Structures are given as structure tokens and as C-alpha cells.
A and B are shown apart, each in its own frame.
Chain A
Amino acid sequence: MLRNDATHFGLVSRLIHWAMAALILSLLVLGTQLKTMQPGLANLWLYGLHKSLGLTALVLVAVRLVWHRISPPPAPIGPPRAWENRLAKAVHRLTYALLILIPLAGWAYASATGLDILFANRWVIPPIAPVSEAWENAAHLAHSVLTKILMGVLALHVLGALRRGIEGDGTLDRMIGG
């Protein structure tokens, strides 16, 4: 079943969820690596890869939001006013906000350097910020700080999902198997 229903996630939602999970994990590992490695000709392509994956994540968030308009996700399992569900809802909303803001900040940072931004090492992506050191510093700071917040929020998300999985309330199962 492709579409979500009142109690289950459809295939499309699950594919987007796990694709984004893999993308975000890759981006976090890659981004951390970029901060610590010594740049050279042999690893210069990793910067381009990070940008391409980040833009892909931004597109996937947009696709996911549109898809959830077309096919609304099922309500959380358990009482809606339970603190776990309220926290989960807040974490989801914050995650969406961060998954939009972080790539935008990265895009603005790359734009402000004045260098071309290539998607898949092929297509030039238009800049969204002026070439400016002030923009570059501000956008880089935002990208870095928001990413650290995302790490914390994702840790909460994963812990919550694991807790529900251990308790066996079906939340984790329906995101894996529908």
C-alpha cells in the first residue's frame, strides 16, 4: 500500500523516512569529517558530495511535507495528550524546521563564498546569498549551531522510537513494516 491510512504508514512515507534517515546520518558523518580533515585534491570532491546530499535532503523534506498533505500520516499510538506524544510531536516539528533551515544555511554559506555550487558535480545551483564575508560567517555559524541542535533532537527521536519499540506499542513496527 503506497498511501498512509488511519493506523499505518504507507510505502511512500516509509521510503522517504528511511531515505532521509540514511541521508541525514551520512551528512552528519561527512560534515564532521569535513571539519577535521586536511583538504587536498584527493578529498575535494567530498565538499561537493556534502552539498549534493544536503540539497537532496532539502528536496526530500519538501516532498515529504507535500506527501503528508496528500496522504496524512496516522495519528500517534496512545493517548494524544500523553507527555510522550506531545514531546514526540514537538520533536517532529522541530526536526522538520531544522531539516529545512540547515540545508538553507549551508546553501547560503556556499553562496556567500562566491564559488559555484554544483549538484552532482554537474549542475550549477543558483546562489541564495550575496558574496559577502559577513553572510558567509553568519550562515556558517547558523549551519553549525543548527546541526548540533539537530543531533540532540534526533537523539531524542531515536531514543523515543527505541523505547516504544522495546515497549512494543507498534510505533516502530509500523514505520518499518507499515
Chain B
Amino acid sequence: MTLLKKLTPILGLLLMAQTALAAPQRYHLQTDLSSVGFETDFGPDKITGTMPIRTADLTLDFAHVAASKVTVTLDAAGSQASFPFAAQAMRGPKVLNTAEFPEISFVSTSVVPQDQGATVAGNITIRGVTQPASFHAEIWRQQGTVAGDLSHLTIRLTGAVLRSQFGAVGWSDMVGDEVRLDILARIERAN
């Protein structure tokens, strides 16, 4: 995050680039440079972990941010947690049931500019159950790019879901219901 803080949040950057990029731009995920962090409560402690991003397709419209679209698929079966039992429990049938539902997907339905970022609302599907969810989005130019170069961007989506809404109720006497997500996707513009 330190690196990101050094970079200029995009919305201002996007506004500057409006004239240069009037048409929606399609971006692909840089898988190796992207990750999803999650966190939930475990008694007085936290369980933290990561989940690989399998795919991400983004269409960013810098002139009309509301027309932007985000689709992200996460590899739930590849998730890791801060201690082995947590990862096993999370992937097991009582929580994510990754044997049957190996992916988590999010498809945006609206993007609303807000402060220095945007609110991305959409539908998230976990364990085959689809529920509305919204994330706060911030976007930056990647390190090493020059002002106005929007070919490589970093997008951060933060938000939370209640796992009980998706039937992921295992160990609810021990582990919190709210799962906080922090998706860091590095993307490059499609040619």
C-alpha cells in the first residue's frame, strides 16, 4: 500500500485524461501482480488470507465513469489463510464448499464516482448464491508509468460480505459473519 500511496489516485487522473480517452477502454488482469486479501474475526483475533484472482475483465470509460464495467472471478479453491486449519475450514463444505463451487464471481451493475474513487455495485456469487454487493474502488497509474499513460493501472476494491447470506455458516460460533475483502488488481489495457 505504501507504493500505492505514492501514486496519484485516479479519479483526478481520469478526469485529466478524459479528452485523450473518450472511448471505453478494455483492460485485462495481470494475474501474477494481483491478489485478493480477506479478513474476518476469530474471537479476539483475526483470520487473514489471500485468494488468487482467476480472471478480471474491466471496461473503463474515463469520460463516463458510470459506464465502466467490472467482472472479477476469484479462485476460491486456491485460497490460503493465516493458519492451516482456517484455510481447510474455509474451503470445506461448511463454508465455501470449493469442491462444488471453486469460484467466486463479481459482476458490476453500476459504477458511481465518489470522492477520490467510485462505488462499484454489482452481484457477487458465492457457493452458487448470488447477492448484491458494493465495493469502494480506487485506481492508480502503476509505478513506472508517466502521467497520462493509462496503459497499466492498479485498481483496489474494498468491501465486505456477510457469509451467512450465502449459506457459508460453518463455525459461526467461532468465526465472524462479516468477511472484509481487499482486492488489488493490476491491469493492462488490451490492444
A interface residue numbers (CB < 8 A to B)? 38-42, 44, 113-116, 131, 133
Contacts and interface: CB of A to CB of B under 8 A. Distances in A.
A30 to B, nearest CB: 17
Contacts of A115: 85, 88-89, 92
A131 B92 contact: yes
Nearest to A131: B93
Contact of B88 (A39, A44, A116): A116
B44 interface: yes
A42 B45 CA distance: 9
Contact of B94 (A38, A40, A44, A114): A114
Given A39-B42, A114-B94, 12 more contacts: A39-B43, A40-B42, A40-B45, A113-B92, A113-B94, A114-B92, A114-B93, A115-B88, A115-B89, A115-B92, A116-B88, A133-B94
Nearest to A40: B43
A41 B94 contact: no
Contacts of A38: 43-44
A41 B93 contact: no
Main secondary structure of the interface of A (DSSP, over half): loop
Contacts of A133: 93-94
Given A114-B92, A114-B94, A39 B174 contact: yes
A114 B90 CA distance: 11
Contacts of A116: 84-85, 88
Contacts of B93: 114, 131, 133
A40 B41 CA distance: 9
Contact of A41 (B45, B84, B88, B89): B45
Contacts of A39: 42-43, 174
14 contacts: A39-B42, A39-B43, A39-B174, A41-B83, A42-B44, A42-B45, A44-B83, A113-B89, A114-B88, A115-B85, A116-B84, A116-B88, A131-B93, A133-B94
A72 to B, nearest CB: 44
Contacts of B88: 114-116
A114 B171 CA distance: 12
A40 B42 CA distance: 6
Contacts of A40: 42-45
A42 B46 CA distance: 11
B42 A41 contact: yes
Contacts of B92: 113-115, 131
A115 B92 CA distance: 8
A162 B42 CA distance: 45
Nearest to A132: B93
Contacts of B85: 44, 115-116
A131 B43 CA distance: 25
Interface in B59-104: 83-85, 88-89, 92-94
Q: Which of A42, A115, A133 has the most CB of B within 10 A?
A: A115
A12 B26 CA distance: 77
A47 to B, nearest CB: 9
Nearest to A41: B45
A163 B189 CA distance: 85
Nearest to B46: A41
A133 B93 CA distance: 9
Interface string B110-152: 0000000000000000000000000000000000000000000
Nearest to A114: B92
